Chains A and B, each alone.
Chain A
Amino acid sequence: MNILSKVVLLVDDSQTVRRMIEWVLKPSGFRILHAADGIHALEVLRAEKVDLAFVDLNMPRMDGIELIRSVRSDKKLQQLPIILLTTENRNEDREAALQAGANLFLTKPSSPAMLRSTAESILGVSASAATEGRKVQP
C-alpha cells in the first residue's frame, strides 16, 4: 500500500491537541482525519477506512476507553491499531486502556519524534519511505 493512502484518525476534544499531532505527523505524509469525541470517532470509522487512531482518554459524550471497547467489539473495526494518548498517568488508567484493547498507552507530553516514529512503525513505514511518498505526491 502506498504511504499516501494510510489514514490516521485523531480523536481528542481539544482542537489544539489534534492540530499538534497533525503537525507532528505531517512529514510522514499520512492523510489525517479528526474527531472531537468517541461518538464522532465511531461515525468516522464507519464511513472511512482508517489505519491508525490516536485516542484521548477524557472526552465528552464517549471517553477513550468506551471508544476502544466499541471498536474491539465491532467485527469490521476490531483490528484497528489504537494509541491512547493522555495526560492521565495513573497505572489504573493504563491498565484499563490496555485491558479495553489499546495497543499502546502514551502520556503527554510525548516527544514529536517519538510520536511520529511510533505511528510510522505501527503502519510499517520508515521515515525515508515517508519522504519518498511525499515526493511522488501529484
Chain B
Amino acid sequence: MNMNRETALRELSQGSPDLQRRAARVLGRWADDQVLSALIGALQSPHRAIREAATDTLLEIGDARTVRLLLPLLRSSVPAVRNSARLLLQGLAKAAPEILIDLSRDPDVRMRIFAANIMTESGDHDLAEPLLDMLNDADENVRDAAVVGLGRLGAPEAIHRLEAFATEGGSWTRFSAIDALSQIPSSEATRALVRLLKTVPAELQEPVVEALGRQGAPEAIASLLQKLFEAPSLGAAIIPVLSQMPASEVVDRLSAVDRPYLAAAISERLQENGQSPEVTAGSLELLGKLGVQVAGSIFIRWLANPQRRIQQAAIRAVHRLGLGELVPMLRQLQSQGDPLLAGEIQAAIDGIALSGKERA
C-alpha cells in the first residue's frame, strides 16, 4: 500500500480500524519523534490488531527513545495498554538497560515488578545483576519477581541467594526459589536442590523433587533414592523422576539389598493410573534393569497398552526379568503382526527360552 508519511499519520489517527492498522505498519519507514509518538498513541487503541501492528513497528524501530516513551504506559489504568508496553519493553530491553534499572528503583511497587518482569522476559543475562539487587527489595512481590527472573535467565551467580530464599520467607517466594534453581543448568544448582531436599519442611519436599526432575541431573539420583527410603510417602513424586533418569545410572547407585525395595515401589506405582506415558515407559525400563523378580501380572496391562513405546518397554522388561509365564501373551502379541514390535518380541521369547524359564 502506498502511503506517504503525512497520509499514514492521518490515517493512524482518523482512519477506519483496518486503515489504522495498515498505517501503523507503514510508518516504520520513518522513525522521527512525531511518528514514534503516534505509534505509542496507537498502543492505546481498543482494537487489538492496531495495538499489535504498532507493537511490531515499534519493535522494528527499537531504540532508547522508544523505551523512554513507553515507560509512562506502564502506569496506564487499562491492563491491555500496560501489557502492550510491557511486551514492547521486553523486546527493547537491550536498547536501553539503564532505563530499566532506573525503573527497578521506582517508588511504585508495581513499576518495580514490571521492571523485574521485563528483565526476566528480555532473556538478557546482563540483566541478572540488577535482578540480584532487587532481591533486597522491601516488597515480597518484587523479590518474588526477581527470584523468578534469575531462574529464567539461568543465572548461576544467583544460586546461593536462591537457596537462602528457598529456606526462609513466604510460601510464594520459597516455591519460586526452588523453581528458579531447577532452571539453572549447573551442577551447583543441583547440589543446592539436593541440600534443600534435606532441609525444607515436608510440604516443600515434593516441589524440590519435581525441580530435581526438571533438571534431570544424574548426580541427584543417590539423594532421591535415600529420600525415597526415608520417606516412602514421597514415592509418587520420586518414582516418576527416577524413571526419567538413565536406568543404568539409577541401578548403579543401588546396593543389591536396596533393589527389591525400589522394584516394589515402582511395581506399586505401575498398578495405579494417572502416570504419563513417558513415566510409565521409563518405570518399566527401570523395573527391567533392576533385575528383581516381580509378579508377571504387573506387565499384562502394559503389554496390551495401545501406546507402542509402553509396549516396547514392557516387552524389554519381561525379557530382562525372564518372565516365562508371559510368553503366551508375547506369542499372542506376535500374532498381531506389528512389524515394529516383531523383533523385540522374538528376542524376548528366544531369551526366555534360552534361560529355561518358559512355562511348559
Interface centre among A19, A59, A111 (most CB of B within 10 A): A19
Give a binary string over A35-54; 1 marks a CB under 8 Å from any B CB, 0 the rest.
00000000000000000000
When the two chains form their complex, are residues B79 and A58 in contact, meaning their CB atoms are under 8 A apart?
yes
- Bound together, the chains give a CA A18 to CA B176 distance in angstroms of 11
- A82-101 residues with Cβ-Cβ distance < 8 A to B are 87-88, 90, 92-93, 96
- Bound together, the chains give a CA A69 to CA B338 distance in angstroms of 51
If A16-B151, A109-B171 touch, does A63 touch B79 (CB 8 Å cutoff)? yes
If A16-B148, A138-B272 touch, does A23 touch B175 (CB 8 Å cutoff)? yes
When the two chains form their complex, are residues B110 and A87 in contact, meaning their CB atoms are under 8 A apart?
yes
Q: Does B86 contact A (CB under 8 A)?
A: yes
If A58-B86, A108-B141, A108-B172 touch, does A63 touch B206 (CB 8 Å cutoff)? no
Closest B residue, CB atoms, query A39: B48
Q: Number of A interface residues, CB 8 Å?
A: 27
- Bound together, the chains give a CA A108 to CA B79 distance in angstroms of 17
If A20-B175, A92-B77 touch, does A109 touch B83 (CB 8 Å cutoff)? no
Give a binary string over B186-208; 1 marks a CB under 8 Å from any A CB, 0 the rest.
00000000000000000000110
Which residues of chain B are near A57, meaning CB under 8 Å? 79
Task: Among B83, B148, B272, point to the contact of A14 (Cβ < 8 A).
Answer: B148
When the two chains form their complex, are residues A58 and B82 in contact, meaning their CB atoms are under 8 A apart?
yes
Which residues of chain B are near A96, meaning CB under 8 Å? 77, 79
Q: Does B217 contact A (CB under 8 A)?
A: no
Q: Does B349 contact A (CB under 8 A)?
A: no
- Bound together, the chains give a CA A62 to CA B206 distance in angstroms of 32
Which residues of chain A are near B273, meaning CB under 8 Å? 137-138
Which residues of chain B are near A63, meaning CB under 8 Å? 79-80, 83
When the two chains form their complex, are residues B176 and A60 in contact, meaning their CB atoms are under 8 A apart?
no
Which residues of chain B are near A60, meaning CB under 8 Å? 83, 86-87
Give a binary string over A1-45; 1 marks a CB under 8 Å from any B CB, 0 the rest.
000000000000010100110010010000000000000000000
Which residues of chain A are near B140, meaning CB under 8 Å? 109
Minimum Cβ distance to chain B for residue A106 (Å): 12
Closest B residue, CB atoms, query A24: B171
Give a binary string over B216-238; 1 marks a CB under 8 Å from any A CB, 0 the rest.
00000000000000000000000
When the two chains form their complex, are residues B179 and A16 in contact, meaning their CB atoms are under 8 A apart?
yes
Give a binary string over B141-185; 1 marks a CB under 8 Å from any A CB, 0 the rest.
100110010010000000000000000001111011001100000
- Bound together, the chains give a CA A63 to CA B82 distance in angstroms of 10
Which residues of chain A are near B339, meaning CB under 8 Å? none
- Bound together, the chains give a CA A20 to CA B166 distance in angstroms of 13
- Bound together, the chains give a CA A90 to CA B113 distance in angstroms of 14
Q: Does B274 contact A (CB under 8 A)?
A: yes
Interface centre among B87, B113, B144, B180 (most CB of A within 10 A): B144
Which residues of chain A are near B180, meaning CB under 8 Å? 16
If A66-B80, A138-B272 touch, does A109 touch B144 (CB 8 Å cutoff)? yes
Which residues of chain A are near B113, meaning CB under 8 Å? 87
Minimum Cβ distance to chain A for residue B271 (Å): 10
- Bound together, the chains give a CA A14 to CA B175 distance in angstroms of 13
Which residues of chain B are near A58, meaning CB under 8 Å? 79, 82-83, 86
Q: Does A81 contact B (CB under 8 A)?
A: no
If A109-B144, A137-B274 touch, does A20 touch B110 (CB 8 Å cutoff)? no
Minimum Cβ distance to chain B for residue A11 (Å): 13
- Bound together, the chains give a CA A109 to CA B139 distance in angstroms of 11
- Residues in chain B within 8 A of chain A (CB atoms): 48, 77, 79-80, 82-83, 86-87, 110, 113, 140-141, 144-145, 148, 151, 170-173, 175-176, 179-180, 206-207, 272-274
A-B contacts, 22 listed (Cβ < 8 Å): A14-B148, A16-B148, A16-B176, A20-B172, A26-B206, A58-B79, A58-B86, A59-B83, A60-B83, A63-B79, A63-B80, A65-B79, A66-B80, A87-B145, A96-B77, A108-B144, A109-B141, A109-B144, A112-B171, A137-B272, A137-B273, A137-B274
* 9 more A-B residue pairs beyond the given contacts A23-B206, A109-B173, with a C-beta to C-beta distance below 8 A: A16-B176, A20-B176, A23-B175, A58-B86, A63-B80, A65-B80, A87-B141, A90-B110, A137-B273
